Amino acid sequence: MTFVGIDLAWAGKNPTGIAVLDDVGALIFLGSAKTDDGIVGALQPWSDVDDLVVAFDAPIVVRNATGARPAERDLNLDFGSFQAGAHPSNTGKPEFAGGQTRAARLAKRLNLGVAPIATLTRPTAEPSPRRLAVEVYPHPATVALFRLGRTIKYKQKPGRSLADLRTGLLSLVEHLETLRVVEPALRLRHNPSWAETVNRIRMAETKAGLRPAEDEVEAVVCAYVALLGRKRPDRLTAYGSDRDGYILTPTLPTDLRPSAPPAEATHLTAAKHPTPDTAVDEYAARHPALVGATRAFADLVTARLDDTGINYLSVTSRTKSIESFSAKALRTRAGELLYQDPLTEITDQIGLRVVTYLQEDVAAVADQLADQFVVLDDRDLGQETASQGEFGYASRHLLVEVDPDDDAPVILRGQRASIQIRTVLQHAWAEFEHDIRYKGSIPDQFASDLDRRFTLAAALLELADREFSAIRDRLQQSMGEPAAATDPAQRTDVTTAPSIGAADLAALLADRFTDAGWSRADHYEWMSGLLLELGITSSATVGAILDGVDSKEIDARMGYRHPPGAVRRLDDALLDRYGEAYLELHGNAHRQQALRSRLERLRSGEPSP
């Protein structure tokens, strides 16, 4: 048998790591490729092998339109606290549009059938077909294999230095090499390509220099999970289903616990399983700290959404009151307390809400937050309601925490935030419905009629949301069409105007970036000020700058998974064009650190993780 690991890049321009193991776990190939043709070519020597398992570190089956797949939600429940949760995958993301995933396309070209779960987790099951494709995920795999309290930090993240990344990657190498003495064994040291990869890690002078080696090491992890699945299927767990996609990973040991939170947050950790009264007392004691953490979370989410250029209406926050926490902690079901450990299980102690104008922006906000934070849970309640053929409450709910190695404020270490994301129309419905049902008294004789009216209102608002999206799409489409002739006396000549106003800049960028989402109105005004600081006072100059940069290459270097907003596109172009001089502008004083990190990615050519 032959086992292949593919650390598949979601964007075609980024490298993909490839590793091949033989039946006794010996590494027989290690390399990388960028294109699908390159991947297929690298695996050509095994094109006629009858017994072949290819493990993709990438979604193979994606059917859900929004939110996370059931596989990702279930896996995150087990591994989220180890910082090994999976990012949500859905067909609303460009890389999975129409349910066509890159991994599925490659599986077809490699003549692979997606392995049914039953053949992967039963030792006696006969696999059919014999050439199989499975989906795996290195982070939870390493946690379970090596009994880690948290993931090894070898991925590029804000605040991690080259030395940090090198140390993390070498730690993963050392862990993998220990598998030579277990069963099934993983034999790496005999292979010259492995020695070369390890040497590249030790000698890398830039973060970008580590990236190809990282891809190849992760491909080895994938290949070993495939080997383990064939040799010891009893040691694997499949999260998800055959229909909606699954993730295969070594089973989390029942006695393994996450590493303790950083010292700064330990004073917020309560005793295990307190009584409700004790939990309320502890919550009251920590409440002042939670208020500060809530403000910090709201500031961080606002700053990071602003940095992406997404158009949203508002970001609001609240700390759960002591009275509300007490009422929730005392809830019962069938005579039993609903929350055995209220301080841990009540997850909305810090609550944020992002309100957008359009439904598409809900998905964009959720995608960006998934890239910026560790997502512990992701539920699209509107999609869940629609799947039952009904209309009603619609909102995207994320449960997130900051990565321990993020440069976020110390007060956020060990804290979780519940973030609701909804359109302004969904928000209006939810607020009114909540006010009526929970703060008022509805006589029994009116209940069914009010239910019907709320359902009708929800259906009409969903239709209105769709029409607003259609209006935006039509306006964006019209930006690329020839403008109707107008009276020259009534037309503003933005080419020769002394400065570029916000409205003119919005029209200019919409015409240039037809696939970009709209940005906030105040962001266009702010960008106009930056242009003025640079001495740019005409649309012709802006156009020349944009003509001089490769926007697709910039997007690839920045690692965007969702088309960035129009202002962010121009921001990237100006950063690429002016470099340090752009950082020193007065209008950028509040974000120099973030800009410097982005400039490093632009200059190094390394995509964001």
What are the tens digits of pLDDT across the range 22-36? Answer: 999 999 999 999 899
β-pair partners for 378: 398
What pLDDT is recorded for position 438? 59
Assign 158 a pLDDT band (cuts: 50, 70, 90). Answer: low
Provide, for the chain, the percentages of residues in helix, strand and coil under a 3-state DSSP scheme, each rounded to the nearest 5: 50, 15, 35
Assign 440 a pLDDT band (cuts: 50, 70, 90). Answer: low
For 263-447, CATH number out of 3.30.460.10, 3.50.50.60, 3.30.465.10, 3.20.20.20 equals 3.30.460.10
**Beta-carbon count within 10 A of 457 CB:** 17
Where are the domain boundaries for CATH 3.30.460.10 in the chain?
A: 263-447
What pLDDT is recorded for position 204? 87
What pLDDT is recorded for position 126? 55
Of 411-425, 470-484, 569-583, the range with the lowest mean pLDDT is 470-484
* pLDDT tens-digit series, residues 126-149: 555 588 999 999 999 999 999 999
Q: What is the rounded average pLDDT of the residues 349-370?
A: 89
Query: Cα–chain-centroid distance for residue 227?
Result: 28
Of 129-143, 363-377, 431-445, the range with the lowest mean pLDDT is 431-445
- 3-state SS of 360-418 is HHHHHHHHHHHHHCEEEEEEEHHHHHHHCCCCCCCCEEEEEECCCCCCCCHHHCCCEEE
Q: What is the rounded average pLDDT of the residues 93-114?
A: 88
Q: Percent of the chain at pLDDT above 90?
A: 37
**Beta-carbon count within 10 A of 122 CB:** 11
Q: Under CATH, what is the fold of the domain 2-147+219-250? A: Nucleotidyltransferase; domain 5 (3.30.420)
Is 75 or 469 the better-scoring residue by pLDDT? 75
Bridge-based pairing state of the strands 350-356 and 416-423: parallel
Which of 444, 441, 464 minimizes the C-alpha distance to 391?
464
Q: What is the rounded average pLDDT of the residues 82-97?
A: 83
Which of 352, 414, 403 minimizes the C-alpha distance to 374?
403
Phi, psi of 95 (to 5 degrees): -70, -15
What pLDDT is recorded for position 266? 40
Please say whether the beta carbons of 315 and 280 come within 8 A: no
What pLDDT is recorded for position 268? 41
What pLDDT is recorded for position 123? 53
- Indicate the residue type of 205: E
DSSP state of 489: G
Please say whether the beta carbons of 283 and 293 come within 8 A: no
Q: What is the rounded average pLDDT of the residues 426-455?
A: 73
Judge whether residue 476 has pLDDT over 80: no
What pLDDT is recorded for position 339? 85
State the Cα–Cα distance between residues 232 and 121, nearest whole angstrom: 9
Q: What is the rounded average pLDDT of the residues 112-126?
A: 70
* pLDDT tens-digit series, residues 162-220: 888 899 999 999 999 999 989 999 999 899 999 999 999 999 888 888 888 999 999 99
Of 39-48, 104-113, 555-564, the range with the lowest mean pLDDT is 555-564
The pTM of the full predicted model, rounded to 2 decimals, is: 0.57
Of 54-58, 105-109, 293-297, 548-552, the range with the lowest mean pLDDT is 548-552
Instruction: Look up residue 311 and give its two tokens.
Output: 């158009």
What pLDDT is recorded for position 605? 56
What pLDDT is recorded for position 264? 40
What pLDDT is recorded for position 491? 39
* pLDDT tens-digit series, residues 147-156: 999 899 888 7
Where are the domain boundaries for CATH 3.30.420 in the chain?
A: 2-147+219-250
Please say whether the beta carbons of 524 and 476 come within 8 A: no
Residue that the structure tokens 């950082």 belong to: 583
Greatest mean pLDDT among 85-89, 150-154, 429-433, 484-488: 150-154
State the Cα–Cα distance between residues 396 and 18, nearest whole angstrom: 36
Instruction: Look up residue 477 and give its two tokens.
Output: 């489409």
State the Cα–Cα distance between residues 133 and 13, nearest whole angstrom: 23
Instruction: Look up residue 53 and give its two tokens.
Output: 């398992």
What pLDDT is recorded for position 310? 79
SS3 assignment, position 532: helix
